[in-house]
Amino acid sequence: MSSQRTHSKTEVDTSKSPHVSLRPISMGDCKWTTGFWAEKTKLCEESMIPYMGSLLTGEIGHALNNFKIVNGDFDGKFDGEYWHDADFFKWMEAACYMYGLNGDQKLLQEMDEIIAVIAEAQEDDGYLHAYIQIHGIPHFSNRKYHEMYNCGHLYTAACIHHRMTGKSNFLDIAIKNADLLVEIFGPNPPQLRRFGFNQTQIMGLVELYRTVGKKAYLTLAEQFINNRGQSEMVHDDTTVGYPIGDMVQERVPLREETEAAGHAVLALYYYAGAADVYAETGEKALIDALDRLWENVTQKKMYATGAVGQTHYGASPRRDMIEEGFIDEYMMPNLTAYNETCANICNAMFSHRMLGIHGESKYADIMELVLHNSMMSGISVCGTKYYYANPLRKINGARDYDNMNTESPDREPYLHCFCCPPNLVRTVAKSTLWAYNLAENGIAVNLYGSNKLKTTMLDGSPFELKQETHYPWNGLVTITIENCKDSAFDIMLRIPEWSKESTLKINGEDAAVTLTSGKFAVLSRQWQAGDTIELDMPMSVKLIEGHHRIEEVRNQVAVKRGPVVYCVESPDLPSGTSITDVYLPSATALTSQHQPDLLGGITTIHGEVMLRKDNAPGMYRDVTKPEFVPYTAQFVPYFAWSNRGEAEMSVFLPVIWQ
């Protein structure tokens, strides 16, 4: 595929990558105008980013203070996890995206001041890791310190800063650090071959290669992939203090792997990084493995909300000890589901890259599912409180949160392990970049939401459209062409997998194309300004059930409308009602109602449930006919739960078949 334009102001810059089907638009090409994502982006600008910045540059988050300690400008102790630098870099990345949208000079000045502190902390040879520098620990001595993780997020944030601002002060820090990695790890010394286990450095190195063109960065990224699965699974000096084997995806070489295993964030960052490498190299064995793994994740280990990482503590399919990750296929607990916010976002990141490579709509379906459910559930509707884990059920008293290191009974204003909040915020900030892609001769519409697009097609032609919709609360989308070239080109419209009854019109007439759920509908014609496309995706309320092998939800159903998964929450039930007493008759008439003043503006679902009144004590008892009382309940979007005080909640409910 040829391209006459480098889209430098983007996230994953595949504008010149030889092995992709769809290419990115630039930041600012698309701007949300009204509705769901416009509101979330405004909240991100006005609340999420400023609040998080005040945490990380202040006493609570302490990230900037850690660098000041290195510089001798702050009297105190390091605070945060080993990898706290990386979480700070993710927030900086979010701020850079927002600058790319609004051009806020105050934000740019704040970034410059922060970058100056980081530059002073960097050692002469390029090394940068506040925890290790403060504590005098030998560099690259033990992988548990997450040095590669910090490096990866440094490179990515620096590339984004350079693309959004045109400045090189942050990029210079990243290049200096990456050159050190090439010097130390490039020769591939045996004692360091198991080192790069938290694989953000793969994505970061590829993005740095795309930014400055230094081939050594791409070579090193591929080397980190090649080294996995090549060593004996015993501890050595560099691995002591952190689990080995499947936990960190080092038991099986990636090209031979058939099943997602281990820590979900590590795995999905790994797969996303490998997809970045494939986009540059085109190696068939690599994409074959990624295709297998994507299918395994999304078809056998993913929740209805798009969440992944079934357990906090458990065993891999090969029975290695794992944490925060994937276990056996179809083993999907609800109450104890971990579903780390980062993992859910990583699921979307992996699919985003696969969308670019293959150009298939199914990947955008996963992106949408995550964005509207298991990602936004990680932050409060006010944008300042967070969840690390995202279970599908919560029962008061069922878990001892005092013995958990990340799960909590209610949203928290700060998490000591702060990886998830900035990951979420940077995704909201860059959401316009995921809305569209550039095709060989046209535009792909990936996500729906009211926006204006003003971009340049791959042949250099200007193109503008306006999208109007109340999505995800209503499935009617109207697209008006405002400027385009004279010759024919394609407009690719994603028909979501959930949509079975879509209709499509052009200028009021049937488009005469076959619409297939989970596929792009390709409209190829000679367009002109003023042409309108009307895609109607009726959003009936549906009950969904799990695969027959998911024991946890057998004889249970969940409520879904369009891309949004719903739940029942105790504030919407009679006082004293346990979530375990709620049953859903299959024939209940479920209706929707938009409530602009509830939970930031949501569409709720209403219908009759049955409350069981005869639950007796004891673990087991003789069966008697249950006693039920009808109650008209309200269902809220899963992402909006736990915004009305500590509450019980369930996505899946036992069904009474009628």
Q: Which two tokens stand for residue 279?
A: 């986009």
Q: pLDDT tens across 190-206, in order?
A: 999 999 888 899 999 99
Domain boundary among 514, 536, 558: 536
> Looking at the structure, do residues 474 and 559 belong to the same domain, yes or no?
no
CA distance linking residue 273 with residue 213, whole number of Å:
17
pLDDT above 70 for 6: no
Q: pLDDT tens across 351-389, in order?
A: 999 999 999 999 999 999 999 999 999 999 999 999 999
The mean pLDDT value for 633-649 works out to: 97
Q: Where does the pLDDT of residue 5 fall: very low under 50, low under 70, confident under 90, or very high at 90 and above?
A: very low
> Looking at the structure, do residues 547 and 466 belong to the same domain, yes or no?
no
Q: Where does the pLDDT of residue 50 fall: very low under 50, low under 70, confident under 90, or very high at 90 and above?
A: very high
| Residue 129 maps to a domain | no
| Residue 166 maps to a domain | no
Q: pLDDT tens across 62-82, in order?
A: 999 999 999 999 999 999 999
The mean pLDDT value for 333-356 works out to: 98
Q: Where does the pLDDT of residue 16 fall: very low under 50, low under 70, confident under 90, or very high at 90 and above?
A: very high
Domain boundary among 536, 553, 581: 536
> Looking at the structure, do residues 559 and 623 belong to the same domain, yes or no?
yes
| Residue 14 maps to a domain | no
> Looking at the structure, do residues 531 and 618 belong to the same domain, yes or no?
no
SS3 462: strand
| Residue 43 maps to a domain | no
pLDDT above 70 for 408: yes
| CATH code, 523 | 2.60.420
pLDDT at 630: 97
> Looking at the structure, do residues 442 and 507 belong to the same domain, yes or no?
yes
pLDDT above 90 for 167: yes
| Residue 249 maps to a domain | no
> Looking at the structure, do residues 548 and 645 belong to the same domain, yes or no?
yes
pLDDT at 197: 84
Closest CA to 56 of 117, 101, 126, 15: 117
Q: Where does the pLDDT of residue 601 fall: very low under 50, low under 70, confident under 90, or very high at 90 and above?
A: very high
pLDDT at 616: 77
SS3 87: helix
pLDDT at 590: 98
- Going along 446-601, which residue ranges are E strands? 451-456, 462-469, 476-483, 489-495, 503-506, 509-510, 519-525, 532-536, 541-544, 556-561, 564-569, 582-585, 591-595
> Looking at the structure, do residues 545 and 619 belong to the same domain, yes or no?
yes
Look up the domain containing 473 and give its range. 437-536
| Residue 427 maps to a domain | no
CA distance linking residue 26 with residue 10, whole number of Å:
5
Contact 213, 248 (CB under 8 A): no
> Looking at the structure, do residues 524 and 550 belong to the same domain, yes or no?
no
The mean pLDDT value for 3-28 works out to: 85
pLDDT at 598: 98
pLDDT above 70 for 7: no
pLDDT at 3: 37
- Going along 76-150, which residue ranges are E strands? none
pLDDT at 2: 34
pLDDT above 70 for 4: no
Q: pLDDT tens across 481-520, in order?
A: 999 999 999 999 999 999 999 999 999 999 999 999 999 9
The model's pTM:
0.97
pLDDT above 60 for 582: yes
Please calculate the CA angle 469-471-477 and round it to the nearest 5 degrees.
40
Share of the chain above pLDDT 70, in %: 99
For all residues of the chain together, what is the average pLDDT? 96
CA distance linking residue 134 with residue 116, whole number of Å:
18
Q: pLDDT tens across 263-294, in order?
A: 999 999 999 999 999 999 999 999 999 999 99
> Looking at the structure, do residues 464 and 548 belong to the same domain, yes or no?
no
Q: Where does the pLDDT of residue 8 fall: very low under 50, low under 70, confident under 90, or very high at 90 and above?
A: confident
| Residue 151 maps to a domain | no
- Going along 104-161, which residue ranges are E strands? none
262-263 and 321-326: which strand pairing? antiparallel
pLDDT at 401: 87
pLDDT at 1: 33
The mean pLDDT value for 389-395 works out to: 97
Domain boundary among 496, 519, 536: 536
Residue 645 CB neighbour total at 10 angstroms: 8
The mean pLDDT value for 431-457 works out to: 98
> Looking at the structure, do residues 625 and 545 belong to the same domain, yes or no?
yes
pLDDT at 199: 85
Q: How many domains does the chain have?
A: 2
Q: Where does the pLDDT of residue 643 fall: very low under 50, low under 70, confident under 90, or very high at 90 and above?
A: very high
> Looking at the structure, do residues 456 and 554 belong to the same domain, yes or no?
no
| Residue 485 maps to a domain | yes
CA distance linking residue 51 with residue 42, whole number of Å:
13
Q: Which two tokens stand for residue 33?
A: 């105008």
Higher pLDDT, 622 or 260: 260
> Looking at the structure, do residues 576 and 649 belong to the same domain, yes or no?
yes
